[in-house]
Chain A
Amino acid sequence: MKTAKLIEYLRVDRMPTVWCPGCGNGIIMKATVDAIDRLGLSKSEVAIVSGIGCSSRVTGYLDFNTLHTLHGRAIAFATGVKLARPDMTVIVMGGDGDMLAIGGNHFIHACRRNLNLTVIVFNNSIYGMTGGQYSPTTPTYAMASTAPYGSIEKPFDVVDLATSSGATYVARSTVYHYELTVKFIKAAIEHKGMAVVDVITNCHTYFGRYNKIPDPSEMLEQFKEKSIPLSKAEELSENELKDRIIIGEFRKVESPDFQELYKQLQEKARGEDGYKA
């Protein structure tokens, strides 16, 4: 995507961003714009909702209908937006702490409900904005400011969580894989029903520094080395997949979304002759 085209979708007067140099958040922001552009959606057809955290600042930079909400609550607010304006494309963007810890409840219930949302998780395995506390996706034994000798907790696998909660489109990419990220976000927007794209990104400032990979390009190189396509991963044992990032489309099923079922219910309740109590 050409820069001239990209900036049409951005609020450049709000820049530079708060993100550290080398942060992967910008890659995900661009990939999202790229996907929207390739789909030919106009700015007024798209609403973008975010919560609180580094990645959630994205709604300040994206020149769409944007709603910057409370920590953890982006999906709940987006639910309201989607119900009021079913015609709009509603995209939720936020981090792993925001979506899976404080907002975890909203995440699983939106999946269960198969609401027609696109949820993009900026998954950097740490709370970046507040100073590097361990998050629900921090790998076991990784270091964080609240885990100076390593976290003893098990992380969430975003794909597993979304799939088992009922999301009908689930994919994972990394910021190293730009084209793949665009492809998955595009597919997620096109998908009817709850679509979750888990994008592995780098917080070299906190996660990297605490875990001896303070260089952003080195973190991206690691994403490249660790990544393995789903088709190949299926042939490998659990042991061989340890510490690997499996990328690909994990779930893509057609299933009536919440609003379709809601409409059906209304029609049934009204009956052929109109409303019947």
Chain B
Amino acid sequence: MIAEKTRLAITGAEAVAHAMRQINPDVVAAYPITPQTPIVENFAKFVADGIVDTEMIPVESEHSAMSAVVGAAAAGARAMTATSANGLALMHEIVYIAASTRLPIVMPVVNRALSGPINIHCDHSDTMAERDSGWIQLFAENAQEAYDLTIIALKLAEHESVLLPVMVNQDGFIISHGVEPVEILPDDVVRNFIGEKKPRYSLLDVENPVTYGPLDLYDYYFEHKRQQVEAMENVFEVFPKVVEEFAEISGRKYNFIEPYRLEDAEHVMVALGSTNGTIKDVVDELRAEGKKVGLLKIWMYRPFPKAEIQRELYGRKTVVVLDRSMSFGAEAPLYAEVKSALYEAPAKPLMGSFIYGLGGREILPEHIRSAFEMAVAGELVVDDQKYLGLRE
């Protein structure tokens, strides 16, 4: 049954703070960093007003924030933090600890360029640096999705066959500071959806003592890594069930990917995050002009939904991949992975790689149109990395 909803005009950061309020985590530890700050600031108000039961500590760095959250999660608590860019980079070593000790932590990440030179605006270089850390990575297109995916992430993370941490990415400033209408579910509906956390192994269960993170050398380390692979594979079974349940309470349907006007599309663009909204508009324009174009939006980047991507991209003439980050000296992250997914395709599409929006550089409809036009004109050259909105 679809629950009654409240519609608020709020930013992506506020939307996520509301999701956190409804999740009502036991512990939140955080450190200020632009553009994440308003999430924790709004949440701090909920704590101070006694609206949530959370124990909150503004610690002395992100390194400490993630450490405190790992400690709390190991003790059986629902623990959350949020960060951006250099904050995420400073957490890096504990990001790996969280995943490898199988702690279902949910962390909103407000994407921002990982300096230098110093830059506070949006790109995906921060989260891409964590793509091999063992976290599940979800990307929101707008404030509504940031809210929804945070709630979905919690249920997914805590599923007993998953038990992995999740980053919920939203584009810095574009989503985090932009005001949009967001439908907020009733508190009790969210609480019923996520349920009570029932930790199987808790440091506070003194009758059944456990240890987290002990020395694990060539005797068992390798097996533990193999188990992380298994947990990631389980996401492919669990996630569709979680989003289906979420659709029942919200009416909003999520998946690994979102196909947009793909039915007979010959030329398909693939992208992450807020730019998908702009691409949809451009697709509509080009469709009106009779061009067979479409969009494949990626909601889940880790684990990488290869089978779904293959299903949607097999048989297309061209595939244009947009990346908001780079891998210097190699192919851009999303491009490389989409290309790899198409290795087994019976007829390989022509592929194009476009870098856009680094450090918050504006991405305009005409940029997207120009990439599509190159695809339609058959001008793409495989692995020839191109740049949208760059002065050269």
Binding site for B on A (CB under 8 A): 52, 68, 70-72, 97, 101-102, 104, 127, 129-131, 133-134, 136, 145-149
Q: Which of B49, B58, B62, B115 contacts A134, CB < 8 Å?
A: B58
Docked-complex contact B61 and A131, CB < 8 angstroms: no
Docked-complex contact A101 and B34, CB < 8 angstroms: no
A-contacting 9-mer, from B40-48, B150-158, B191-199, B341-349:
B40-48
Cβ-closest 6 pairs across A and B: A130-B32, A101-B60, A102-B61, A148-B48, A133-B32, A146-B44
Q: 1/0 contact trace for B46-72 toward A, CB 8 Å?
A: 001100000000101110000000000
B112 CB, min distance to chain A CBs, angstroms: 12
What residue of chain A has the Cβ atom nearest to residue B62's Cβ? Answer: A102
In the docked arrangement, what's the CA distance between A145 and B49, Å? Answer: 13
Q: Which of B54-110 contact A (CB under 8 A)?
A: 58, 60-62, 86, 90
Grouping DSSP codes into helix (H, G, I), strand (E, B) and loop, the A interface class, with mixed when no group exceeds half, is loop
Docked-complex contact A72 and B61, CB < 8 angstroms: yes
Given pairs A101-B31, A129-B34, 16 additional interface contacts (CB within 8 A)? A52-B86, A70-B115, A97-B32, A101-B60, A102-B60, A127-B32, A130-B33, A130-B37, A131-B32, A133-B58, A146-B32, A146-B40, A146-B44, A148-B45, A148-B48, A148-B49
Tell yes or no: B352 within 8 A of A by CB: no
26 contacts between A and B (CB under 8 A): A52-B118, A70-B115, A71-B33, A71-B86, A72-B61, A101-B60, A101-B61, A104-B60, A130-B33, A131-B38, A131-B41, A133-B32, A133-B58, A134-B58, A145-B41, A145-B44, A146-B40, A146-B41, A146-B44, A147-B44, A147-B48, A147-B58, A148-B44, A148-B45, A148-B48, A148-B49
A71 CB, min distance to chain B CBs, angstroms: 6
Q: Which of B34, B60, B62 contacts A136, CB < 8 Å?
A: B60
Binding site for A on B (CB under 8 A): 31-34, 37-38, 40-41, 44-45, 48-49, 58, 60-62, 86, 90, 115, 118
Docked-complex contact B44 and A149, CB < 8 angstroms: no
Docked-complex contact A102 and B31, CB < 8 angstroms: yes
List, in ascending order, chain B residues with CB within 8 A of A149's CB.
Answer: 48
Docked-complex contact A131 and B60, CB < 8 angstroms: no
In the docked arrangement, what's the CA distance between A71 and B118, Å? Answer: 10
What residue of chain A has the Cβ atom nearest to residue B43's Cβ? Answer: A146
In the docked arrangement, what's the CA distance between A149 and B47, Å? Answer: 10
Decide yes or no: A70 and B86 within 8 Å by CB, A104-B60, A131-B37, A146-B41 being known contacts.
yes
In the docked arrangement, what's the CA distance between A240 and B48, Å? Answer: 32
List, in ascending order, chain A residues with CB within 8 A of B118's CB.
Answer: 52, 68
List, in ascending order, chain B residues with CB within 8 A of A146's CB.
Answer: 32, 40-41, 44, 58
B43 CB, min distance to chain A CBs, angstroms: 9
B92 CB, min distance to chain A CBs, angstroms: 13
List, in ascending order, chain A residues with CB within 8 A of B44's CB.
Answer: 145-148
Q: Which of A71, A146, A147, A148 has the most CB of B within 10 A?
A: A146
In the docked arrangement, what's the CA distance between A204 and B31, Å? Answer: 22
List, in ascending order, chain B residues with CB within 8 A of A71's CB.
Answer: 33, 86
B75 CB, min distance to chain A CBs, angstroms: 22
In the docked arrangement, what's the CA distance between A162 and B363, Å? Answer: 48
In the docked arrangement, what's the CA distance between A133 and B33, Å? Answer: 10
What residue of chain B has the Cβ atom nearest to residue A153's Cβ? Answer: B58
A161 CB, min distance to chain B CBs, angstroms: 13
Docked-complex contact A133 and B45, CB < 8 angstroms: no
List, in ascending order, chain A residues with CB within 8 A of B31's CB.
Answer: 101-102
Docked-complex contact A133 and B60, CB < 8 angstroms: no
In the docked arrangement, what's the CA distance between A148 and B60, Å? Answer: 18
Q: Which of A97, A102, A104, A133 contacts B41, CB < 8 Å?
A: A133
List, in ascending order, chain B residues with CB within 8 A of A104's CB.
Answer: 60
List, in ascending order, chain A residues with CB within 8 A of B48's CB.
Answer: 147-149
What residue of chain A has the Cβ atom nearest to residue B48's Cβ? Answer: A148
What residue of chain B has the Cβ atom nearest to residue A133's Cβ? Answer: B32
A16 CB, min distance to chain B CBs, angstroms: 19
What residue of chain A has the Cβ atom nearest to residue B35's Cβ? Answer: A130
In the docked arrangement, what's the CA distance between A136 and B32, Å? Answer: 13
What residue of chain B has the Cβ atom nearest to residue A131's Cβ? Answer: B37
B135 CB, min distance to chain A CBs, angstroms: 23
What residue of chain A has the Cβ atom nearest to residue B89's Cβ? Answer: A70
List, in ascending order, chain A residues with CB within 8 A of B49's CB.
Answer: 148
B355 CB, min distance to chain A CBs, angstroms: 24
A48 CB, min distance to chain B CBs, angstroms: 16
A104 CB, min distance to chain B CBs, angstroms: 6
List, in ascending order, chain A residues with CB within 8 A of B38's CB.
Answer: 131
What residue of chain B has the Cβ atom nearest to residue A103's Cβ? Answer: B61
Q: Which of B44, B45, B62 has the most CB of A within 10 A?
A: B44
In the docked arrangement, what's the CA distance between A222 and B32, Å? Answer: 28
List, in ascending order, chain A residues with CB within 8 A of B115's CB.
Answer: 70
List, in ascending order, chain A residues with CB within 8 A of B58's CB.
Answer: 133-134, 146-147
In the docked arrangement, what's the CA distance between A70 and B44, Å? Answer: 26
What residue of chain B has the Cβ atom nearest to residue A151's Cβ? Answer: B58
In the docked arrangement, what's the CA distance between A102 and B62, Å? Answer: 8
A15 CB, min distance to chain B CBs, angstroms: 18
List, in ascending order, chain B residues with CB within 8 A of A68's CB.
Answer: 118
In the docked arrangement, what's the CA distance between A133 and B31, Å? Answer: 9
In the docked arrangement, what's the CA distance between A97 and B32, Å? Answer: 10
Q: Which of A70, A72, A102, A130 contacts B34, CB < 8 Å?
A: A130
A140 CB, min distance to chain B CBs, angstroms: 14
In the docked arrangement, what's the CA distance between A68 and B48, Å? Answer: 36
List, in ascending order, chain B residues with CB within 8 A of A102's CB.
Answer: 31, 60-62, 90
A150 CB, min distance to chain B CBs, angstroms: 10
In the docked arrangement, what's the CA distance between A136 and B41, Å? Answer: 17
B64 CB, min distance to chain A CBs, angstroms: 9
In the docked arrangement, what's the CA distance between A134 and B31, Å? Answer: 10
In the docked arrangement, what's the CA distance between A72 and B62, Å? Answer: 11
